[in-house]
Structure 1
Amino acid sequence: MKTNNNSGVILVAVVCFTAITAILALGLLSESGSQLKLADRQVRLEQAFYVAEGGAERAVSCIANSGGNPPGVITGAIGNGTYNVAINQLGGGGQTWYTIASTGEVSGVKKCVIMTGVRQQTWARYALFYSGAPGPIWILGGERFMGPVHANCPIYLTGNPIFEALVSTTANNWGPGSNTNNVQFGQGWQFNAASQSMASVNFPALRTNASLVVTGLTDISLAGTNLLISNARRGWNNVNYAASNAGILTNGLIYVVNAGTGTNRGTASVGGTLDGRLSIATDYDIYVTNHITYAVHPTNGSDDALGLIAQRDVVVRANAPNNLSLFAHIIAAYPNNSSYSHGFYVQNYWSRPFSGNLNVYGGIVEFNRGAVGLTSGRGFLKNYAYDTRFATDPPPMYPTVDNVYQWTSWRDKSP
């Protein structure tokens, strides 16, 4: 009788199949384990990234809470991770700038976040800011704002004004009777916004930090890179100062001090064309007597910048020319008797014949909103444009907004 040799072959085949299956299973288990490890690492990387972000945010808070003098390194924990943040101080434009490098670590995995150009925002961030005393603000058809607008009071809207950036108000709605059907909102609006104080416009600090301090009525004529300054108390009559001379104006800030009453009040008269960067601050008023322009228009790559910072009013004088151009960011901060404080306004606007456009290229921050003309045809029509450069590159030594920070760049730079 013949024996069946196929049984041996079958046994060998079964053994081989089992071995192959086992090898494949081991391979799958190994691959599965590798995938799990990769997934776990990815989770830890994401966690470390969020910890690094959190550390950077805490560093910004630390800068604000320390009055701008933070420690060089801060550490802490968020969840199951830790952060180590290096804060490096730099100078720039009269402000302190910071670089923040935050490293987050979770279970041995690290991620690093770098923030450069961290600094307080200045009041030049606003196309229009209205503190709200003594009452509401009216914004009419034909007005256009290319930067942020904020009011610490209701805003009454009529006609077709254009807002290209966010509009915020502390009120819970538009003023009664407002019609927004034809209003253009580029970035929407915010009701019940936090009230903001102009108290951070620190005039004693501006005076202390100024490169040039003069007393009493002062005339400053902008003549390209030169400044022609007249001041009776110093015996100056069109004394020629180089606007870019680092030995004279090291930080580009001039301050005019009050010396009493009458002609000794700290008032500056300004007009002309500026080729450079300058801020003028006063204890009293600033008078605009003529066109104020830049050597190069801001839309053509200009590096010129002017800030006008009055503790009381910024006034377009009655003898200023028609179709006036005013290239500057303006602060009129006086917070006392409203009968003497009109913010930014045109002198005798109610009796001045129609004078064409008032062309403001910059921005206006004021305690009270002053008038520049009447709907009956007296004075000027408004033609206001925000100088968008000022959002990141304000005039020199410009006052900062409390506890509001910005930065130039943010990037992931992991080790």
Structure 2
Amino acid sequence: MNTKRKPKHFPSGYWLVASRSQRGVTVLLVVGFMGIFMLILGTITSFAMQQAKYGRALYDREQALHSAEAGLEYYRWFLAHNPNNLTNGTGLPGPYAYLVNDPEGGNLGSASISVSGATQCSQIQWIDITSVGKSNLNPSFPRTLFARYMRPSVGAYSYLLNSNVWAGADRNITGPYFSNGGIRMDGTNNSDVSSAVATWSCDSSFGCSPTQTKNGVWGAGTGSALWSYPIASIDFAAIAANFTTLKGYAQNNGGRFFDTPSGSTSQRGYHIIFKSDGTFDVYRVTSTTATASYSSQYGWTSAEYSIIATQVFVGNYSIPSSCSLVYIQDRVWVEGVVSGKVTVIAADTVHSGVVPDAYLSGNITYATNDGNAGLTVIAEGSVLIPLNSPDTMEIHGIFVAQSGHYGRNFYTSNSAYSPYTVPSAYNSYVLRTQLTTNGSVVSNARTGTSWSSGGATISGYQSRVDAYDELQATAPPPFTPSASTDYRFVIWREQ
């Protein structure tokens, strides 16, 4: 008799072959996979939510930036209608609230505006504006913008000229180079070179024989990709210093004023030696040594009185921090180490026909090179480097020849130029080695610190390196002339 139990038959037609333990494993696997799936789903969902949150934060930050920028633009508009008003018209200290509205979307955010002015001799030099913007949707992500509002300074240029000019092959120029006249550029330029004229007449004094019509900028220089012409001219009359006004500031607003000394015009003046402790020594020049010279502006003269023969000590003076202006109503010789920012004026508003020059008689450097020191020299006439200048000379500053020219005139010991030779004691000074200028040159007439013949330098500096001082471009010494009559943001950055 067969006693085997037949397997139970299910109506579905399938035989159950899994044990209970196998069924448990299957359940666990299903639960495990569901857990993993839920974990992955949760991770993806969390990531998506975080990305959405991050996206909203980015949007809020952008809205905050736009609000901060709107605050700057608002105050620029306000200053255009209310010059030098630092209180938003309230007469009260800031910050000042400004709501940013969209005509279609309502309020977008707000800006908190703080305003301060840099003042010298009770006159505002520039205005700093800080705007903190916040989004109306989420103010937790503020953005802060800073801007400086002023007329652009001539310190933004390496050279700013009002006449034709020839930059020789020995020149290495860093910083914008501009002339209202034509430019022959044979040197190396690392920045823009721009002329206000499309063409000009190049004669023998610029190396063209016979006279030729040349492009606004031309020459053998390698930086022609940075040459441009014609561009808008710069009105030298509009940016000229007002010496009567500056004299009043020096006399009445806390500056230093030195009146015309006794003696003949050619024998007198003041000698200023800056010191690293923030003071300067003043000497009264009592006699000078004459030498013959030639300049492109005035031609030959048998008596250029630029060498100090005798002088008398006047005193040591501090540079007034609230009015860092030194006004010399006569000629001035300048050298030394400048600490702090100061402007020296050589002008005469009293004696008719007297147009003083400024002489860079020695090295001029800064006590620090972090932008806290700076010098501007403005001459009613010319800014000149005299015959007895250092062989290797370094000058830092912004040098402005308002009606004359900047440069080192032509000197010679060659008897072929008789009677226009220098005193024999100064023969060795005719030819100098290197001139390094860190700053800006502004000249009404043609400049020149090197003179050549037949391709060789025969007078002046054989090598010249020029670089503008970017730190002085946006924070120049007081009353440094502007390159434009229009105000603008010369600094714009996020803090």
Under a length normalisation based on structure 1, what TM-score does the superposition of the two structures give?
A: 0.70
Query: Equivalent residues in 2 for 1:61-210 (5 A)?
Result: 61-62=76-77, 65=80, 66-70=82-86, 71=88, 73=96, 75=98, 77=100, 81-91=108-118, 95-109=125-139, 110-115=141-146, 120-132=151-163, 136-158=164-186, 161-171=187-197, 175-176=214-215, 182-184=221-223, 188-198=226-236, 199-203=238-242, 204-210=244-250
Shift in Å at residue 238 of structure 1? 3.8
Task: Name stretches of at least 5 consecutive residues in structure 2 with no aligned partner.
Answer: 1-7, 17-22, 89-93, 201-213, 287-310, 349-354, 413-419, 423-428
Between 349-358 and 191-200, the greater mean CA deviation after superposition: 349-358
* 1:190-222 residue CA offsets vs partner (Å, 9 max, x unmatched): 545443334234324433332123444662222
Residue 63 of structure 2 is aligned to residue 48 of structure 1 = yes
Go from structure 1 to structure 2 and tell me whether the alpha carbon gap of 1:30 and 1:194 turns closer, same or farther (over 3 Å shift): same
Aligned 8 A contact 1:332 1:365 in 2? yes
Shift in Å at residue 391 of structure 1? 3.5
Go from structure 1 to structure 2 and tell me whether the alpha carbon gap of 1:197 and 1:116 turns closer, same or farther (over 3 Å shift): same
What is the alpha-carbon distance in structure 2 between the residues aligned to residue 220 and residue 270 of structure 1? 6
What is the alpha-carbon distance in structure 2 between the residues aligned to residue 254 and residue 128 of structure 1? 24
Shift in Å at residue 400 of structure 1? 3.7
Query: Equivalent residues in 2 for 1:16-415 (5 A)?
Result: 31=46, 34-35=49-50, 37-38=52-53, 40-52=55-67, 54-55=69-70, 57-58=72-73, 61-62=76-77, 65=80, 66-70=82-86, 71=88, 73=96, 75=98, 77=100, 81-91=108-118, 95-109=125-139, 110-115=141-146, 120-132=151-163, 136-158=164-186, 161-171=187-197, 175-176=214-215, 182-184=221-223, 188-198=226-236, 199-203=238-242, 204-210=244-250, 211-216=255-260, 219-223=269-273, 224=275, 225-230=279-284, 238=312, 240-244=314-318, 246=320, 250-256=322-328, 266-276=329-339, 277-283=341-347, 285-289=355-359, 291-294=361-364, 305-317=374-386, 320-321=388-389, 323=391, 325=393, 327=395, 328-334=397-403, 342-347=404-409, 351=420, 355-357=430-432, 359=435, 361=437, 362-376=439-453, 379-381=459-461, 383-386=464-467, 388=469, 389-402=471-484, 403-407=487-491, 410-412=493-495
Shift in Å at residue 188 of structure 1? 3.6
Alignment correspondent of 2:19: none
Q: Partner letter of residue 385 of structure 1? A: D
Q: Partner letter of residue 202 of structure 1? A: A
Under a length normalisation based on structure 2, what TM-score does the superposition of the two structures give?
A: 0.60
Alignment correspondent of 1:338: none
Q: Provide the identity percentage.
A: 13
What is the alpha-carbon distance in structure 2 between the residues aligned to residue 33 and residue 302 of structure 1? 49
Aligned 8 A contact 1:291 1:326 in 2? no
Shift in Å at residue 43 of structure 1? 4.6
Shift in Å at residue 315 of structure 1? 3.5
Shift in Å at residue 105 of structure 1? 1.7
Q: Partner letter of residue 344 of structure 1? A: Y
Helix, strand or coil for the counterpart of 2:318? coil
Q: Partner letter of residue 133 of structure 2? A: T
* 1:292-342 residue CA offsets vs partner (Å, 9 max, x unmatched): 324x5678779654321123322445x5447484624211123xxxxxxx4
Helix, strand or coil for the counterpart of 2:178? strand
Task: Name stretches of at least 5 consecutive residues in structure 1 with no aligned partner.
Answer: 257-265, 335-341
Helix, strand or coil for the counterpart of 1:243? strand
* 1:23-76 residue CA offsets vs partner (Å, 9 max, x unmatched): 789858954872573254045224314404532551573476243434253635
Q: CA RMSD in A?
A: 4.6
Q: Partner letter of residue 45 of structure 1? A: D
Aligned 8 A contact 1:59 1:85 in 2? no
What is the alpha-carbon distance in structure 2 between the residues aligned to residue 197 and residue 111 of structure 1? 42
Helix, strand or coil for the counterpart of 1:206? helix
Aligned 8 A contact 2:346 2:358 in 1? no
What is the alpha-carbon distance in structure 2 between the residues aligned to residue 240 and residue 130 of structure 1? 36
What is the alpha-carbon distance in structure 2 between the residues aligned to residue 20 and residue 250 of structure 1? 75
What is the alpha-carbon distance in structure 2 between the residues aligned to residue 321 and residue 114 of structure 1? 46
Q: Partner letter of residue 272 of structure 2? A: L
Greater C-alpha radius of gyration: 2
* 1:109-130 residue CA offsets vs partner (Å, 9 max, x unmatched): 5431232766554322322111
Aligned 8 A contact 1:286 1:313 in 2? yes
What is the alpha-carbon distance in structure 2 between the residues aligned to residue 290 and residue 98 of structure 1? 33
Aligned 8 A contact 1:44 1:106 in 2? no
What is the alpha-carbon distance in structure 2 between the residues aligned to residue 151 and residue 299 of structure 1? 31
Helix, strand or coil for the counterpart of 1:374? strand
